[in-house]
Amino acid sequence: MQIVQQILFVLLAAAAVFLFARKVREIRRNIKLGKDAGINDNPSARWRNVLLLAFGQKKMFKRMTPAILHFFVYAGFVIINIEILEIILDGIFGTHRLFAPYLGGLYNILIGCFEILAALVLVSCAIFLVRRNILKLKRLNQGELNGWPKTDANAILITEIVLMALLLTMNAADYNLQQMNVHHYYNTGGPFWVSGLIAPLLSGMGEGGLVALERTCWWLHIAGIFAFLNYLPYSKHLHIVLAFPNAYYAKLVPQGKMDNMKDIQNEVLYMMEPDKAPTDAAAAEPHRFGAKDVNDLSWKNLMDAYSCTECGRCTAVCPANITGKKLSPRKIMMDTRDRMEEMGRNIDQNKEFVDDGKSLLHDYISTEELRACTTCNACVEACPVSIDPLSIILQLRRNLVMEESNAPQEWNMMFGNIENNMAPWKFSPDDRDKWAQELAEA
């Protein structure tokens, strides 16, 4: 019997890892659809960001309630993984609580701590469900979340609650079995801190019932973990992995700095100083200005899209969104991910990308959204996982204006004024120092 369980376990684990690895390769491929971003300077500042922003969750602490609850879930997730290591080894070797004999009294303390974390995770997730579905926090209920994103968020929270409940029930059954000195159930020497409270409720079940309960919980728990692992890549929950590299590759220069377009800089230079222009015509290869589709963006923009937790902190502070405009920086990120995944499926089907007549610009993100942005950087500042929605907005705007000549009439007038009068308004350059003359006369 034991050996059957072991074989089943190894097969399950192998399948989970295989499927996950395949999906990881796909995500990697999709991110690499983006252009090279040349980000590798200043590693010490980058590691600092990983520590502060990813491990330390610095930006989360701008809002205390969700920060603390989220911290429990995060700490629980990371630390309980140590126990999962034991569970996996037990599964492979057919042992039970493999680490217990080696750790002695420390084992109980460790499991006790894990249990407290598990209980905190359970309670936090329950509160999160309430905030989402009963209190209906605005940022967690805006239009772009309708359908799958909402289901996704709730599914994760419910899964977490179920997993934690299974873990605690398993330990409670286990404790009863230990008390009965049942063979295979190593006596760890005392009730665990949380499951010890539920253990008495199960004491009447008898040995057979308890073993069945313990085994069922054990299997459901670990199978749930494997399922969760494979669900991650389809979910906003991918941020638990990508938040770390995303913090590493976060922008280090001041937020106000826009990326330079070297090709246009050169074009202007050659126009003004023709002697500097390269003589070989090959240099003038045709290219696209700004971004029309996801493969015109940088790979960092695309990793941003996969890292987005759909938390809406960006949208909640966006002046355009607050005042009822269509723009939502969260939607910019969700659209980018959706389009990237669509492009990925297209490649899977056709071996290489075959034009599907669609693009990120227009089919996903409208001009109205793009034009509403004030470039205020509030979204960038607010994002807890170092995402820069503004970078995408500005690249799409460049495409709109330079490739499609698609600008509101007032902007076209402003362009004309800058070109002809050297100011965005229709004033004569001769009047530029009128204020100084007035001062002189005063």
Interface with another protein (CB under 8 A): 62, 253-258, 260-261, 264-265, 267-269, 272, 289-290, 317, 319-320, 322-327, 368, 371-378, 380-381, 394, 397-402, 407-408, 410-411, 413-415, 418-419, 422-425, 427, 429-436, 438-440, 442
Nearer to another protein, 305 or 379 (CB): 379
Cβ 398 to ligand SF4 shortest distance, Å: 15
Q: How far apart are CA 79 and CA 336, in angstroms?
A: 33
Cα 227 from chain centroid? 19
What's the Cα-to-Cα distance from 401 to each of 287, 292, 366, 370, 411, rounded to whole Å? 15, 11, 13, 11, 10
Question: Residue 255 touches which of another protein, ligand SF4, none (CB < 5 to 8 A by kind)?
Answer: another protein
Minimal distance, residue 393 CB to ligand SF4, in Å: 6
Our measurement of the distance from residue 110's CA atom to the centroid of its chain's CA atoms, rounded to an integer in Å, reads 30
Closer of 221 and 397 to ligand SF4 (Cβ): 397
* CA 285 – CA 41 distance, rounded (Å): 29
Cα gap 406→368, rounded to integer Å: 11
Closer to ligand SF4 by CB, 38 or 256: give it: 256
Long-range contacts of 105-112 (CB under 8 A, 24+ apart): 105/189, 107/188, 108/188, 108/189, 108/190, 108/192, 110/82, 110/83, 111/83, 111/171, 111/188, 111/192, 112/192, 112/193, 112/194
Nearest approach in angstroms of CB 330 to ligand SF4 is: 4
Residues at the contact surface with ligand SF4, assessed by CB under 6 A: 308-314, 318-320, 327, 329-330, 333, 373-379, 382-383, 385, 387, 389-390, 393
Judged by CB, which is closer to another protein: 81, or 255? 255
Tokens of 67: 């920060």
Choose the one of another protein, ligand SF4, none that binds residue 233, judging by a C-beta under 5 to 8 angstroms depending on kind: none
Minimal distance, residue 432 CB to ligand SF4, in Å = 30
Q: Beta-carbon neighbour count of residue 104 at 10 Å?
A: 11
Residue 307 or 399 with smaller CB distance to another protein: 399
Give min distance, CB of 425 to ligand SF4, in A. Answer: 23
Separation CA 387–CA 393 (nearest Å): 12
Residue 46 contact partner, candidates another protein, ligand SF4, none, CB within 5 to 8 A by sort of partner: none
Spatial CA neighbour of 395 closest among 365, 417, 418: 365
| Neighbouring-strand partners of residue 365 | 361
Task: In angstroms, give the least distance from the CB of 318 to ligand SF4.
Answer: 3
Q: How far is the CB of 5 from ligand SF4 (least distance, A)?
A: 40
Specify the residue, 144 or 196, whose C-beta has the smaller distance to ligand SF4. 144
**What is the spatial distance between Cα 177 and Cα 218, in angstroms, rounded to a whole number?**
14
Q: Which does 326 bind (CB under 5 to 8 A by kind): another protein, ligand SF4, none?
A: another protein
Q: Which is nearer to ligand SF4, 110 or 385 (CB)?
A: 385
Task: Please give the full DSSP string across 375-388, using - where no structure is assigned.
Answer: ---HHHHH-TT---
